[in-house]
């Protein structure tokens, strides 16, 4: 009986830790008909952080990235100046729905990689992840900075 109570307590604490981690600023969740994925992210939510982005990095963990958060929807363009690693750049609207993808960017390239319409969130992840995970147009971003009303309810 004591073992059962102990196992139940450990299970409750473990599940609570998962829920709290899901609501952490340092994680994003992507979901769609292809499945789900979680990325550990750094958040760039001011002009200085957004300007630097992932410049000068030699490596990045497989399920890591950077989430760029804008105060309101706007058209955006990214380039690869001083960026040493190839990236997949995903543009999301204010509801967290995937709008555009620029996959397998070229390190150091100065070509602007533009969104086709106003976006509010940009996720940079390692090049090839879009293809590996088979991310599609139904992909939804979930992060604490989004209004959770139209997305999964992990952080409510």
Q: What is the pLDDT of residue 21?
A: 46
Q: Break the chain into its structural domains and give their ranges.
A: 25-147
Classify domain 25-147 by CATH number. Answer: 2.60.120.1140
**pLDDT above 90 (res 14):** no
Q: What is the pLDDT of residue 102?
A: 98
Q: Read off the pLDDT of residues 37-96 as tens digits, 9 standing for 90 and up.
A: 999 999 999 999 999 999 999 999 999 999 999 999 999 999 999 999 999 999 999 999
Between CA 28 and CA 152 the distance in angstroms is 12
pTM to 2 decimals?
0.82
**pLDDT above 50 (res 138):** yes
């Amino acid at each position: 009986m004591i073992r059962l109570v102990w196992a139940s307590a450990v299970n409750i604490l473990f599940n609570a830790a998962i829920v709290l981690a899901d609501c952490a600023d340092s994680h994003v969740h992507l979901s769609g008909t292809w499945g789900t994925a979680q990325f550990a992210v750094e958040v760039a939510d001011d002009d200085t952080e957004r300007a630097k982005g992932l410049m000068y990095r030699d490596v990045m963990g497989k399920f890591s990235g950077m989430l760029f958060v804008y105060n309101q929807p706007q058209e955006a363009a990214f380039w690869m100046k001083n960026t040493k690693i190839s990236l997949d750049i995903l543009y999301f609207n204010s509801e967290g729905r995937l709008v555009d993808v620029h996959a397998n960017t070229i390190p150091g390239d100065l070509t602007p990689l533009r969104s086709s319409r106003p976006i509010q969130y940009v996720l940079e992840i390692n090049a090839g992840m879009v293809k590996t995970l088979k991310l599609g147009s139904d992909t939804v971003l979930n992060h604490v900075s989004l209004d959770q009303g139209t997305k999964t309810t992990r952080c409510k």
